[in-house]
Structure 1
Amino acid sequence: MKRVMKHGAFALASVLACLGASHASAKDPPVASSMDSQRDIVLAVNNPIEPPAMHAGSSLIGYVPSGYYGAGQRAASELNDLKQHYSLHEVAGWPIKALGVYCVVVETPAGTDRDALLKTLAQDHRVKLAQPLQDYSVYSNLPPKDDHRYNDPYVDLQRGFVETDAALAQNLSKGEGVHIAVVDTGADLTHPDLQGRIHDTHDMVDGDARAFGRDHHGTEVAGVIAADANNHQGIVGIAPDAVLSIYKACWYAASSAGAHCNSFTLAKALAAIIDTDARIVNLSLGGPADPLLDKLLGQLLNQGRIVVAALPPNGNLGGFPDNAPGVIVVRVSATGPAPSGVLSAPGNDILTTQPGGGYDFTSGSSMAAAHVSGIVALLLAADPHLDANAVRDLLLRTSKTSNGMLQVNAAAAVASAQNAHAIAH
């Protein structure tokens, strides 16, 4: 292996210092789960990458692919100065190419008021962004029409599949080739109903492959969206021919039954999706408004992605990700009227995939959002030119009453989309 040249040694040390948390060994404690949302801060500085002059074939960190994007010398220098000046300890760092910044999570020094420190940092000309590290939660509660075209044994028990007339919709579209990014926990990649549907995975939390496959929530969401059809196994996904990418940004803490995420892990996931061709982003999670996450979400929306989010359990809008104009927000179907523009979809007692190759019932707006992401995949396979506003309007317009509740209907939506597409062409 060729060595980094001497005159790049200082830059190399700076880069590795900033990226140290990202290259932790498997024996190191999980980075994300060790962060403290009550004390930690997300700090960003500008990160213009200007490679120093070097011999042919070398780069800032030696012989690496030209696509590398890390901390430039200016960013590394400014971060080191800021950490020394304010007595900050770095927990983790990562570049966000789409925003041209380098971010770190730092601990508030003992005895220092975090809000006061944030105000001081906001006045420092070197700081591009300073905000609290915030917590987010997934919206799911674990359990305390017959269609003979399917050989999947539990299809009749799939309440959401039956109520949305998904079987009829799949006569017209199965979501062929539509790419969906699922930002969630990990998922069971070996599950018989998911093996053919999950194309790639990305762990933004700890790199623990065993924990990734044991995660419930992401496994449940993936199953609702795209479980295999006619494989003599379990259930059928709403869009069984769609392609999933799983971004693990949430994890299960030992002290909590639910999964949690934070600004750090969610930002890494959203930034990674920006560089992909995913048309749909499923966010079955939520929490407070967040400046960094809002910027990244805005970029995804500006790129024409269709972002589907779950309505918070309290029914209040205004946090991440439901506060961004253009996001499709979904609640669990109920008899009362939904907030303006919010879709209703099945979310109670939903049978779906579980880690270890099993199946069980679960509830929550997370599952409602997953149903809608699957239906959007059916729509995009029928008409790839649909945008988020057209999809929302179509789903609202074609919603039907089922069991006394007005909710999205896959068959009506897909038929309408196909008819409109045929007339237009």
Structure 2
Amino acid sequence: MTRGALLCRIAGRIAGRTTGSTMTLSLGGLVLFLLLTFGLQSFGFVRTAAAQTAAQPAIPSAKPAAAADPVAAPGTTAAAPGPTAAPPQFRLVPADTLSSDVHLLLTVPLADPASLPQVAAGIESRFGVTLAAEWPLQSISVHCFIMTVAANADLDGLIARMEADPAIRTVQKIQTYNVLEHSYSDPLLPAQGALSRINALKAHSLSKGSGVSIGVVDSGIDITHPDLAGRIVSQHDFVSGNSGNSGNTKAPEHPETGEAHGTAIAGIIAADADNALGIVGVAPEAGIIELRACWQGSAATGQCNSFSLARALNFAIINRVKVINMSLGGPFDALLEELVRAAVGHGLLVVAARGEGTDVAFPASVPGVVSAGAAGHAPAIPAPAVDILSTAPGNAFRYVSGSSASAAFVSGVAALILSARPEISLSDLETALRTSLTDHDGSPLLDACKALQTALTGDMNCSTE
């Protein structure tokens, strides 16, 4: 007897009658029959077609697994990034081992990943170079090769010949960048009250940056610092060369990855408030996404290059990091410009340090990037740049100066605005930052309260009197 017939007979004995092989059910019996049938299915007593199908061996799907969710601020859920393919295996090297004298950075189209080994081998054969590293930049659909050239090679001549090769999309030297800071050795310099000067404390009555994460493209951040421990959303290392997936792995968690410049910039942006110690950040409830693309050199400075910065920007674009802080500058780089333009094109705010010279540093000079610097360096947004007290590795604090600090102040104010008005467009956000200035000793300076007032188109008491 089948299980279905058995169920019918049970139901019939309870609520109907049986004549030979025919079952006659009352209305109550019919209801009971249905309840028994579907109820027992739910508990696995009846083997349905779906259950039989599930028991069969799984057929592998051709569709790749979904990418991990983008990083989000504490207590929030980030919007999913745009569709991206699962990253293929690739080869990395520590960024600080690359040199502009012996390495070239090439890009080729990412259309056919299976052909990339043959493409690399062909380039090696035609130009007498050796593949040192490779990785994809999915955000702009290219694959990158780092090629080692022979000692004393004519790099300019080699680049010219490579530019004529149809298999090569772009070729360039490895550029080097420095964090834009002027450091003082005297730890007892008086505080300058920068938060009061930009009217941030007034702005905190309406917004403290909650729900917004800022990507800090810089040297490592000391995540154990008591003023930063609660603000770090995630860490991603693009320097060490030991990552197997475009920097999606967590940065090593030991003290040596807490470096001076990155720790100071993170503190200016989002140092915790109301914790009875240390300092207060511009956006003390914002999250920090550590995008370690620089490493610490001598005298607590930081250095980056095309390789590490390209990987960090690619990650920020794919994960839709709403604010990208780049407190650094250096020579023009075509690949980095393409990535920065792609970030802006996706509606991401890129804030970069203007530099201290007469010319605007790269990448602050890229159209669409919000540049920041000391007062009197138009068109950069003027923000505090001298004697700024911030966090330092080892539970310490130090003073920093330079347009690096200015960029951090602007990024922090942007987080305040995005927290209060998440739907604001990139153009409206930039307008609020650029037009909300207050006179300080005859020079305009960013005003966080006025920036919020402009973005929210509402009345706020931003008077400092």
TM-score range relative to shorter protein: 0.7 to 0.9
Secondary structure of 1:297's counterpart equals helix
Counting only pairs closer than 5 Å after superposition, residues 325-344 of structure 1 correspond to structure 2 as 325-333=367-375, 337-339=376-378, 341-344=379-382
Aligned-partner Cα distance in 2 for 1:158–1:242 = 23
Which residue in 2 is equivalent to 1:46? 109
Aligned-partner Cα distance in 1 for 2:177–2:158 = 23
Counting only pairs closer than 5 Å after superposition, residues 129-168 of structure 1 correspond to structure 2 as 129-144=170-185, 157=191, 159-168=193-202
Aligned-partner Cα distance in 2 for 1:160–1:387 = 28
Aligned-partner Cα distance in 2 for 1:386–1:243 = 19
Partner residue of 2:364 out of 296, 303, 322: 322
Amino acid at match of 1:216: A
Structure 1's 18 and 124: CA in aligned 2 closer, same or farther, altered over 3 A?
Answer: farther
Structure 1's 421 and 184: CA in aligned 2 closer, same or farther, altered over 3 A?
Answer: farther
Which residue in 2 is equivalent to 1:6? none
Secondary structure of 1:19's counterpart equals coil
Structure 1's 45 and 416: CA in aligned 2 closer, same or farther, altered over 3 A?
Answer: closer
Which residue in 2 is equivalent to 1:406? 444
Which residue in 2 is equivalent to 1:361? 399
Aligned-partner Cα distance in 1 for 2:393–2:439 = 33
Secondary structure of 1:21's counterpart equals coil
Instruction: State the shift of 1:158 in Å.
Output: 5.7
Instruction: State the shift of 1:81 in Å.
Output: 1.5
Aligned-partner Cα distance in 2 for 1:183–1:175 = 19
Instruction: State the shift of 1:289 in Å.
Output: 1.4
Instruction: State the shift of 1:381 in Å.
Output: 1.3
Given that residues 160 and 371 in structure 1 are in contact (C-alpha distance below 8 angstroms), is that contact kept between their aligned partners in structure 2? no
Given that residues 136 and 286 in structure 1 are in contact (C-alpha distance below 8 angstroms), is that contact kept between their aligned partners in structure 2? yes
Q: Deviations over 1:177-210 (max 9, x none)?
A: 1121110111001110111111001110015544
What's the % identity of the aligned pairs? 34
Aligned-partner Cα distance in 1 for 2:153–2:459 = 60
Given that residues 158 and 350 in structure 1 are in contact (C-alpha distance below 8 angstroms), is that contact kept between their aligned partners in structure 2? yes
Instruction: State the shift of 1:353 in Å.
Output: 0.3
Instruction: State the shift of 1:420 in Å.
Output: 4.7
Aligned-partner Cα distance in 2 for 1:131–1:325 = 21
Instruction: State the shift of 1:301 in Å.
Output: 0.4
Structure 1's 39 and 237: CA in aligned 2 closer, same or farther, altered over 3 A?
Answer: same
Amino acid at match of 1:162: S
Given that residues 212 and 248 in structure 1 are in contact (C-alpha distance below 8 angstroms), is that contact kept between their aligned partners in structure 2? no
1:184 has 2:224 as partner: no
Structure 1's 173 and 158: CA in aligned 2 closer, same or farther, altered over 3 A?
Answer: farther
Given that residues 140 and 367 in structure 1 are in contact (C-alpha distance below 8 angstroms), is that contact kept between their aligned partners in structure 2? yes
Which residue in 2 is equivalent to 1:19? 90
Partner residue of 2:338 out of 286, 295, 312: 295
Given that residues 233 and 287 in structure 2 are in contact (C-alpha distance below 8 angstroms), is that contact kept between their aligned partners in structure 1? yes
Which residue in 2 is equivalent to 1:172? 206
Aligned-partner Cα distance in 2 for 1:244–1:280 = 10
Structure 1 unaligned blocks of 5 or more: 1-16, 23-30, 50-71, 145-155
Aligned-partner Cα distance in 1 for 2:138–2:153 = 31
Instruction: State the shift of 1:413 in Å.
Output: 1.4
Aligned-partner Cα distance in 1 for 2:159–2:409 = 40
Equivalent pairs counted in the alignment come to 361
Which residue in 2 is equivalent to 1:64? none
Aligned-partner Cα distance in 2 for 1:137–1:360 = 19
- Computing the radius of gyration from Cα coordinates, the structure with the larger value is 2
Instruction: State the shift of 1:100 in Å.
Output: 1.9
Q: Deviations over 1:146-191 (max 9, x none)?
A: xxxxxxxxxx946221211111100011111112111011100111
Partner residue of 1:283 out of 318, 326, 338: 326
Secondary structure of 1:281's counterpart equals strand
Aligned-partner Cα distance in 2 for 1:21–1:410 = 41
Calculate the TM-score normalised by the size of structure 1.
0.80
Counting only pairs closer than 5 Å after superposition, residues 2-401 of structure 1 correspond to structure 2 as 19-21=90-92, 31-49=94-112, 72-144=113-185, 157=191, 159-206=193-240, 209-210=253-254, 213-253=257-297, 258-317=301-360, 319-333=361-375, 337-339=376-378, 341-401=379-439
Aligned-partner Cα distance in 2 for 1:219–1:182 = 10
Calculate the TM-score normalised by the size of structure 2.
0.73
Given that residues 365 and 371 in structure 2 are in contact (C-alpha distance below 8 angstroms), is that contact kept between their aligned partners in structure 1? no
Which residue in 2 is equivalent to 1:147? none
Structure 1's 384 and 229: CA in aligned 2 closer, same or farther, altered over 3 A?
Answer: same
Structure 2 unaligned blocks of 5 or more: 1-87, 243-251, 461-465
Q: Deviations over 1:254-273 (max 9, x none)?
A: 5x752111100000000011
Q: Deviations over 1:216-257 (max 9, x none)?
A: 111000000000110112001000111110111111235x75
Secondary structure of 2:226's counterpart equals coil
Aligned-partner Cα distance in 2 for 1:230–1:403 = 31
Aligned-partner Cα distance in 1 for 2:256–2:135 = 21
Given that residues 132 and 146 in structure 2 are in contact (C-alpha distance below 8 angstroms), is that contact kept between their aligned partners in structure 1? yes
Which residue in 2 is equivalent to 1:28? none
Aligned-partner Cα distance in 1 for 2:90–2:435 = 49
Secondary structure of 2:182's counterpart equals coil
Instruction: State the shift of 1:18 in Å.
Output: 7.8
Instruction: State the shift of 1:97 in Å.
Output: 1.2
Aligned-partner Cα distance in 1 for 2:102–2:357 = 26
Q: Deviations over 1:35-55 (max 9, x none)?
A: 112332101122224xxxxxx
Secondary structure of 1:91's counterpart equals strand
Which residue in 2 is equivalent to 1:58? none
Amino acid at match of 2:91: G
Amino acid at match of 2:98: M
Given that residues 48 and 74 in structure 1 are in contact (C-alpha distance below 8 angstroms), is that contact kept between their aligned partners in structure 2? no
Instruction: State the shift of 1:107 in Å.
Output: 1.9
Most deviating of 83-92 and 302-311: 83-92
Which residue in 2 is equivalent to 1:10? none
Aligned-partner Cα distance in 2 for 1:395–1:357 = 32
Q: Deviations over 1:270-312 (max 9, x none)?
A: 0011111321110101111111111111111011001111112
